[in-house]
Structure 1
Amino acid sequence: MELINKLQPGSVRKVNESSLNSSQLEDIGNFIKAIQAYGLKSRDIFEANDLFENGNMTHVQTTLVALPGLAKIKGFHTTTDIVVKYIEKQTIRFDEDI
């Protein structure tokens, strides 16, 4: 939560401090909603169970790598750069003469 609130203050107003599963899932869901609102594309966002159940940690890592790339595009500057470029849209064109 601190990450998205640093990039866009007030994105997640409530953070549960309970260790109950329902509270943890709510926090993950709030984080996902906040990064969607920030502009991260749905294809780059993990699902709550990927993190909660350790289902697809590669997708979680992909999200956490894509987010700073988007932040950089939006003008967020830091002294640490992980050198990730966030691509808004990619178009593939085929030459019909081949």
Structure 2
Amino acid sequence: MALERAVRAKLASKRDPDQDAEAQEWIEIVLGKKFPKGQLYEDVLRDGVILCEVMNKLKPGAIPKINTSGGQFKLMENINNFQRALKDYGVPDLDVFQTTDLWDKKDLAQVTTTLFALGRTTYKHPEWKGPWLGPKPSDEHKRDFSEEQLKAGQTIIGLQAGSNKGASQSGQNIGASRKILLGK
């Protein structure tokens, strides 16, 4: 029991309340409604209903059926449907939280990280006009160099290679210092 409390405390320390608040605000703006007063962020998200609604706002019809009742397995199915829709939307698998991270409240920091990954992915969907969450991902800037330019670069030694001008080991005392014993 003590170990479980220690693990929960460690995971809770990874959470950033500011990021949770930012993710919550983004969800509220996307859905056009506030979280119920007095309920915690993780409790509102736990059944997956809100997450599915967000996904359907971003991509209409992404999750055709959202379970609002029917017991634990039906509600956990919402989370699984949300995760599947995330991946279809373009969120990398690496950024998607595990179902137990949310349902059992094991790693809520990862849930928020997933929401930020979703928010970044919306930048890549021109049909979505905002709001966005997190910084805009950079675009690839491919460069094409001619053979002549590539060969010219081979003759230059960059400053990153450093210089040995004036380098010596003079004055360096490497290892143990010399011991001088005076005999009597």
Residue identity in the other structure for 2:81: N
Question: Residue 44 of structure 1: which of 95, 107, 110 is its match?
Answer: 95
Q: Which runs of 5+ in 1 are unaligned?
A: 90-96
Q: Which runs of 5+ in 2 are unaligned?
A: 1-51, 141-160, 163-184
**Partner of residue 77, structure 1:** 129
- Partner SS for 2:133: coil
**Residue 28 (1) aligns with residue 79 (2):** yes
Contact 1:25 / 1:52 at 8 angstroms: preserved in 2? Answer: yes
Q: Distance in 1 between matches of 2:64 and 2:92?
A: 22
**Partner of residue 176, structure 2:** none
Q: Distance in 1 between matches of 2:132 and 2:76?
A: 30
Q: Distance in 2 between matches of 1:71 and 1:56?
A: 24
Question: Normalised by the size of structure 1, how large is the TM-score?
Answer: 0.80
Contact 2:122 / 2:132 at 8 angstroms: preserved in 1? Answer: no
When the two chains are superposed, the root-mean-square deviation of aligned CA atoms in Å is: 2.1
Contact 1:66 / 1:86 at 8 angstroms: preserved in 2? Answer: no
**Using a 3 Å threshold, how does the CA distance of structure 1 residues 81 and 14 change in structure 2: closer, same or farther?**
closer
Query: Quick one: percent identity of the two aligned structures?
Result: 30
Contact 1:40 / 1:67 at 8 angstroms: preserved in 2? Answer: yes
**Using a 3 Å threshold, how does the CA distance of structure 1 residues 61 and 88 change in structure 2: closer, same or farther?**
farther
Q: Distance in 2 between matches of 1:19 and 1:55?
A: 23
**Residue 2 (1) aligns with residue 50 (2):** no
| Higher Cα radius of gyration | 2
Question: Normalised by the size of structure 2, how large is the TM-score?
Answer: 0.44
Q: Distance in 1 between matches of 2:94 and 2:64?
A: 25
